[in-house]
């Protein structure tokens, strides 16, 4: 809790310095948040190139509007809001993003039956499981198949670790909406990943 | 919320609806108790719980992606073209500032109105209490006195002269000063 408070305090100091034209302070903000923002955007658009461009655009917009940033939300929330809006615009403009996914239920080129789906070792180790490219791909595909409203919530909550309240703030929607979208998103992911998960019934 | 021990579809769907919150540990103790009682007797819900837990764990352990090595250099090249932090002011920025100023004005207006109201009340209270306090010590001028003093003031104001060097002013001053207190009391 103290650590979070310190981060918030440091963020505030950086923002105040950046608002006073301190380029080094803005640079520090970028270094602090670029991985988080990029990771989130990458999972939203599922393209390293587009994610890099959109992350740059996020920080350019933050740079241009840092003076209008107020303490009504955290810096983290503010950056996620910019990134989310950019991703939504991007997915609207780019049909490829929404239509690029391959259904998990279909037998794709990479899934011709030769690929081992079952996890051989019974010891459950998520990191080892994700080293399995197949499962990692299926997870990314399942995420990309989610409607963007559900995807934003599950990425922010389960991957980025934002609390419900911050997500509601980013998306400007009620807390109940965040919870129901998270429930729906997890349900869809569970159904799609179930054949690849190692569950002993 | 209470979940029956004998599961049926309706109860299962309700339990499954809350499993995410159960995993996130955001339910009350009573809700956790009810869910666990149901889970103890329901294979289907246990399966959903296991799958949901694994899905969430996979998400949480998804490898972090990071930007390319040129990211910062490319970003700074772009920022260099934009000028200082905050960018150049555009008409849109100025419109936004104007909007904020109007908003601030609208928010502050009631506060300012209230302040003015309080000030007016204070002034009114002073007007009532101070002259009243003065009246207790100084006798009120008579009607004739007031008119004479007004005539003198008007004359001095119009001619901008010193009443001590001006015969008209001297006359008006004499009228304004009126009879002494003793004679005033007799006329009353």
B57 touches chain A (CB under 8 A): yes
Long-range contacts of B38-42 (CB under 8 A, 24+ apart): B38/B3, B38/B4, B38/B5, B38/B7, B38/B11, B38/B12, B39/B15, B41/B5, B41/B6, B41/B7, B42/B7, B42/B12, B42/B15
Residues of A in contact with B21 (CB under 8 A): 179
Q: A130 to chain B: nearest residue by CA?
A: B62
Q: A131 to chain B: nearest residue by CA?
A: B63
Selected for mutation to probe chain B from A43, A52, A198 (highest B CB count within 10 Å) is A52
Percentage of chain B modeled with pLDDT above 90? 22
Q: What is the distance in angstroms between the Cα of B97 and the nearest Cα belonging to chain A?
A: 9
Q: B18 to chain A: nearest residue by CA?
A: A183
> Residues A92, A184: one domain?
no
Selected for mutation to probe chain A from B75, B89, B90, B107 (highest A CB count within 10 Å) is B75
- Distance (Å, rounded) from C-alpha B139 to C-alpha B158? 29
Residues of A in contact with B56 (CB under 8 A): 158, 186
pLDDT string in tens for chain A (201-residue length): 445 556 666 888 999 999 988 999 999 999 999 999 999 999 999 889 999 999 999 999 999 999 888 877 889 999 999 999 999 999 888 765 444 443 333 333 333 333 332 333 334 455 555 556 677 888 888 999 999 999 999 999 998 889 999 999 999 999 999 999 999 999 999 999 988 876 654
Is the Cβ pair B64, A48 closer than 8 Å?
A: no
> Residues A156, A127: one domain?
yes
> Residues A71, A134: one domain?
no
Selected for mutation to probe chain A from B79, B99, B101 (highest A CB count within 10 Å) is B79
B22 lies in a domain? yes
B150 lies in a domain? yes
**Sequence-ordered list of residues with C-beta below 8 angstroms from that of B115, at least 6 positions apart, any chain:** none
User: pTM value?
Assistant: 0.61
pLDDT digits (tens, 9 = 90+) for B104-155: 566 556 666 677 777 778 777 777 665 555 554 444 555 555 556 666 566 5
Pick A186's closest partner by Cβ from B52, B85, B87: B52
Q: Which domain holds residue A54?
A: 1-100
> Residues A3, A87: one domain?
yes
Backbone angles phi, psi at A50, to 5 degrees: -65, -40
Residues of A in contact with B17 (CB under 8 A): 183
Which domain-ending residue is among A100, A122, A156? A100
B85 lies in a domain? no
**Sequence-ordered list of residues with C-beta below 8 angstroms from that of A134, at least 6 positions apart, any chain:** A110, A111, A115, A116, A117, A196
Is the Cβ pair A56, B75 closer than 8 Å?
A: yes
Pick A130's closest partner by Cβ from B20, B58, B82: B58
- How many independent structural domains does chain B possess? 2
Q: Which domain holds residue B26?
A: 9-60
> Residues A165, A86: one domain?
no
Which domain-ending residue is among B42, B60, B78? B60
Whether the Cβ atoms of residue B23 and residue B53 lie closer than 8 Å to each other: yes
Residues of B in contact with A66 (CB under 8 A): 85-86
pLDDT digits (tens, 9 = 90+) for B27-63: 999 999 999 999 999 999 999 999 999 999 888 888 8
B58 touches chain A (CB under 8 A): yes
> Residues A92, A110: one domain?
no
Pick B64's closest partner by Cβ from A39, A139, A199: A39
pLDDT of residue A140: 86
Residues of B in contact with A201 (CB under 8 A): 43, 47
Q: What is the distance in angstroms between the Cα of A190 and the nearest Cα belonging to chain B?
A: 6
> Residues A144, A75: one domain?
no
Which domain-ending residue is among A76, A100, A124? A100
> What is the CATH number for A79?
1.10.1740.10
Prediction ipTM score: 0.72
Four-point Cα dihedral B124, B125, B127, B129, nearest 10: 160
Whether the Cβ atoms of residue A28 and residue A59 lie closer than 8 Å to each other: no
- How many independent structural domains does chain A possess? 2
> Residues A127, A157: one domain?
yes
> Residues A158, A199: one domain?
yes
> Residues A55, A145: one domain?
no
Is the Cβ pair A34, B67 closer than 8 Å?
A: yes
**Sequence-ordered list of residues with C-beta below 8 angstroms from that of A198, at least 6 positions apart, any chain:** A118, A119, A122, A124, A129, B54
Residues of A in contact with B74 (CB under 8 A): 56
Q: What average pLDDT does the segment B12-34 reach?
A: 91
> Residues A96, A5: one domain?
yes
Q: What is the distance in angstroms between the Cα of A73 and the nearest Cα belonging to chain B?
A: 18
> Residues A195, A150: one domain?
yes
Is the Cβ pair B62, A65 closer than 8 Å?
A: no
> What is the CATH number for A108?
1.10.10.10
């Amino acid at each position: 809790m103290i650590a979070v408070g310190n981060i918030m305090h440091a963020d505030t100091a950086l923002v105040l310095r950046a608002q006073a034209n301190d380029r080094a302070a803005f640079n520090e903000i970028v270094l602090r948040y670029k991985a988080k923002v990029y990771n989130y955007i990458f999972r939203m658009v599922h393209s390293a190139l587009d994610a890099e461009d959109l992350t740059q655009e996020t920080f350019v917009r933050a740079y241009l509007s840092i003076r209008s940033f107020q303490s009504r939300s955290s810096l983290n929330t503010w950056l996620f809001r910019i990134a989310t809006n950019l991703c939504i615009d991007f997915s609207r403009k780019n049909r490829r993003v929404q239509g690029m996914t391959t259904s998990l239920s279909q037998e794709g080129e990479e899934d011709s039956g030769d690929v081992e789906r079952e996890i051989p070792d019974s010891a459950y180790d998520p990191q080892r499981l994700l080293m399995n490219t197949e499962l990692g791909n299926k997870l990314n595909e399942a995420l990309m198949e989610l409607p963007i409203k559900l995807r934003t919530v599950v990425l922010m909550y389960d991957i980025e670790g934002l609390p419900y309240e911050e997500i509601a703030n980013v998306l400007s929607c009620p807390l109940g909406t965040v919870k129901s979208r998270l429930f729906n998103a997890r349900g869809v992911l569970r159904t799609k990943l179930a054949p690849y998960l190692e569950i002993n019934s | 919320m209470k979940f029956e021990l004998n599961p049926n579809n309706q109860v299962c769907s309700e339990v499954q609806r809350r499993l995410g919150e159960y995993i996130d540990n955001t339910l009350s103790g009573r809700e956790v108790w009810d869910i666990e009682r149901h889970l103890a007797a329901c294979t289907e819900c246990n399966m959903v719980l296991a799958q949901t837990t694994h899905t969430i764990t996979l998400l949480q352990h998804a490898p972090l992606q990071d930007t390319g090595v040129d990211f910062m250099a490319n970003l700074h090249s772009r920022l260099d073209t934009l000028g200082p932090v905050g960018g150049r002011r555009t008409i849109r920025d100025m419109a936004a500032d104007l909007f904020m100023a109007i908003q601030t004005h609208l928010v502050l207006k009631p506060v300012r109105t209230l302040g003015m109201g309080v000030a007016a009340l204070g002034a009114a209270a002073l007007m009532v209490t101070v002259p009243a306090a003065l009246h207790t010590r100084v006798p009120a001028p008579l009607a004739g006195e007031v008119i004479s003093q007004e005539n003198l003031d008007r004359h001095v104001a119009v001619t901008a002269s010193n009443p001590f060097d001006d015969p008209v002013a001297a006359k008006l001053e004499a009228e304004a000063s009126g009879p002494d207190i003793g004679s005033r009391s007799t006329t009353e």
